Every structure is written in structure tokens, then in C-alpha cells.
Amino acid sequence: MEDKNLKRTLSPDERKQLEKKIMETFKNETNKLSQELQRILADDMVTAFENRLATLTRIQSKHGD
């Protein structure tokens, strides 16, 4: 049986907060992009983070750690 936590995703509010933190963290690197492109990049980074976290959690649970 698969752990329910493995399927958990961020709530819309959590996602927006994380996107905002990412935009703030990388503001110097992304300041040449339009606001729209900065939001798209932040959304992509949150999606990649969620996917990577789910993958690593799944791997760890298979190894019993």
C-alpha cells in the first residue's frame, strides 16, 4: 500500500507562498525577465521541486529508510 504522504501536493496557498519565496530568492538572476516570465519560471521551479521530492520520497520508502 502506498503512503498517502507520497501523493500530497502543496495547497494553492502553500504553492503561491513558495513561488513568492523563489521569486524573491532569485530576483537578481531573473530581473531581466518580465513579471509574467518570472512567475512562469517560479511555477516551473515549484513543480520540479514537488516532482523531485515525490520521487526521492518514493525511493526512500522502498529502501525502508
Give tens-digit pLDDT for 8-27: 688 999 999 999 999 999 99
Residue 4, pLDDT > 90, answer no
- Phi/psi of residue 11, each to 5°? -70, 160
With respect to residue 65, please indicate whether it lies within any of the assigned structural domains: yes
64: pLDDT strictly greater than 50: yes
Whole-structure pTM value: 0.79
Q: Is residue 42 part of a domain?
A: yes
Tell me: pLDDT of 43 over 90. Answer: yes
**Residue 30: inside a domain:** no
C-beta of residue 22 within 8 angstroms of C-beta of residue 42: yes
Band the pLDDT of 2: cuts 50, 70, 90.
Answer: very low
What's the mean per-residue pLDDT of the chain? 89
N-term to C-term CA, the chain: 16
Q: Which residues contact 23 (CB under 8 A, 6 or more apart)?
A: 30, 38, 39, 42
Domain range for 43 is 35-65
29 found inside a domain: no
